[in-house]
């Protein structure tokens, strides 16, 4: 834990910059893989940049009200904040970001900041499908968060600390020190929860295009959408960073970081390819029946 100094600000911006780019490339890359597996061409690797630039470039004269306006702001603040409250690269002063402001718990709870804002903004759009999407999303995410929260707690118990840095530090010195191997139950629970929070099949009914036109953000467009797209690049990675730090030994350098994030991302992709989509209550039950007991065991086992 270090205190604030002004240099942290440019360093933090650098982290954000790297992660945004990585996130966009990663997203496109995974789309591309998916397309290739399906024997399609897929999108070009810079497609996300093009979309983003286009949307940022668009001007809109429409708003549905104050919260509609603030929704994307909340959302992106949530993503960026989450990223910045956690040290990205272990042992690096540059990329320890603003982790002095709080520990693991801060990150855990800040996840909801964006979700809440998004839900509020969507709500104000006045579109019933948006509201339905939100109820589904919230219902599912609360169920999916449970095993994750349990796993986090198990890890905190295991290492007797809430400091992310300390947890990563405890996992250094070889793969066998990773939580993955020292506490496999916790990791299993967390990974099941992870699937649920990535908005990928089989847990993607929230934004399922077939049923509802793109779910909660139905009414969002132009620069509003651009902010969300930015967040969509940052947020999964910020989450994965937490997973990586807690369970997979963290990353001491950017290459390791890229590799681990990519690998974790792929887990959800692969699962998504294999399973059909769940309805919300099904996924809630699934988390409660499969993921939750593992989490409970993880805690009891520590």
Of residues 224-253, which lie at the interface with another protein (CB under 8 A)?
224, 227
Task: Examine residue 102 and tell whether it contacts another protein (CB under 8 A).
Answer: yes
CB of 204 to another protein, least distance (A): 14
**Of the ranges 38-46, 186-194, 214-222, 249-257, which one interacts with another protein (CB under 8 A)?**
214-222
Picking from 177, 218, 223, 200, the residue whose alpha carbon sits closest to that of residue 69 is: 223
Interface of this chain with another protein, residues 70 to 99, rule: CB under 8 A: 70, 72-74, 76-77, 80-81, 84-85, 98
Picking from 7, 29, 231, the residue whose alpha carbon sits closest to that of residue 118 is: 231
Nearer to another protein, 170 or 284 (CB): 284
Picking from 85, 11, 83, 90, the residue whose alpha carbon sits closest to that of residue 251 is: 90
Task: Examine residue 290 and tell whether it contacts another protein (CB under 8 A).
Answer: no
Interface of this chain with another protein, residues 12 to 51, rule: CB under 8 A: none
Task: Examine residue 223 and tell whether it contacts another protein (CB under 8 A).
Answer: yes
Task: Examine residue 62 and tell whether it contacts another protein (CB under 8 A).
Answer: yes
Nearer to another protein, 42 or 219 (CB): 219
Question: In the set 161, 211, 267, 277, which binds another protein (CB under 8 A)?
Answer: 161
CB of 168 to another protein, least distance (A): 14
CB of 296 to another protein, least distance (A): 5
Structure tokens at 46: 């810079």
In b/e form, how buried is each residue of 167-180, taking b as 16+ CB within 10 angstroms?
bbebbeeeeeebbb
Phi first, then psi: what are they for 190, rounded to 5°? Answer: -60, -40
The CA-based angle 118-123-125, given to 5 degrees, is 100
Task: Examine residue 157 and tell whether it contacts another protein (CB under 8 A).
Answer: yes
Distance CA 144, CA 233 (A): 21
Which three-class secondary structure state does DSSP give residue 58? coil
Which three-class secondary structure state does DSSP give residue 248? coil
Question: In the set 46, 126, 176, 259, which binds another protein (CB under 8 A)?
Answer: 126
Nearer to another protein, 33 or 211 (CB): 211
Q: Using alpha carbons only, how large is the chain's radius of gyration in Å? A: 19
**Of the ranges 31-39, 106-114, 243-251, 265-273, which one interacts with another protein (CB under 8 A)?**
106-114
Task: Examine residue 220 and tell whether it contacts another protein (CB under 8 A).
Answer: no
Distance CA 191, CA 295 (A): 10
Task: Examine residue 59 and tell whether it contacts another protein (CB under 8 A).
Answer: yes
Nearer to another protein, 120 or 269 (CB): 120
Question: In the set 31, 92, 142, 182, which binds another protein (CB under 8 A)?
Answer: 142
Distance CA 12, CA 251 (A): 17
Sign of the C-alpha dihedral computed for residues 273, 227, 78 and 283 taken in this order: negative
Distance CA 249, CA 172 (A): 6
- H-helix or E-strand spanning residue 53: helix 47-57
Task: Examine residue 197 and tell whether it contacts another protein (CB under 8 A).
Answer: no
Question: In the set 163, 208, 258, 269, which binds another protein (CB under 8 A)?
Answer: 163
């Amino acid at each position: 834990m270090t205190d604030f100094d002004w240099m942290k600000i440019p360093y933090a911006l650098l982290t954000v910059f790297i992660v945004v780019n990585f996130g966009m490339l990663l997203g496109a890359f995974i789309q591309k893989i998916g397309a290739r597996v399906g024997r399609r061409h897929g999108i070009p690797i810079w497609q996300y940049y093009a979309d983003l630039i286009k949307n940022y470039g668009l001007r809109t004269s429409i708003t549905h009200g104050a919260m509609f306006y603030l929704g994307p702001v909340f959302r992106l603040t949530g993503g960026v904040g989450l990223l910045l409250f956690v040290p990205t690269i272990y042992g690096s002063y540059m990329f320890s970001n603003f982790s002095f402001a709080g520990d693991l718990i801060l990150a855990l709870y800040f996840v909801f900041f964006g979700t809440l804002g998004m839900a509020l903004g969507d709500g104000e759009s006045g579109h019933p499908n948006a509201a339905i999407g939100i109820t589904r999303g919230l219902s599912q995410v609360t169920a999916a968060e449970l095993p994750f929260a349990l796993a986090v707690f198990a890890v905190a118990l295991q290492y007797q600390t809430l400091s992310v840095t300390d947890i990563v530090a405890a996992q250094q010195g070889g793969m066998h020190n990773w939580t993955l191997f020292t506490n496999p139950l916790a990791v299993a629970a967390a990974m099941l929860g992870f699937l649920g929070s990535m908005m990928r099949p089989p847990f993607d009914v929230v934004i399922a295009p077939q049923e509802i036109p793109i779910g909660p953000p139905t009414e969002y467009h132009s620069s509003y959408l651009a902010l969300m797209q930015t967040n969509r690049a940052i947020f999964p990675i910020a989450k994965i960073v937490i997973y990586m730090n807690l369970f997979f030994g963290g990353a001491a350098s950017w290459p390791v970081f890229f590799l681990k994030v990519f690998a974790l991302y792929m887990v959800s992709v692969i699962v998504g390819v294999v399973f059909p989509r769940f309805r919300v209550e099904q996924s809630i039950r699934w988390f409660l029946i499969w993921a939750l007991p593992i989490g409970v065991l993880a805690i009891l086992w520590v």
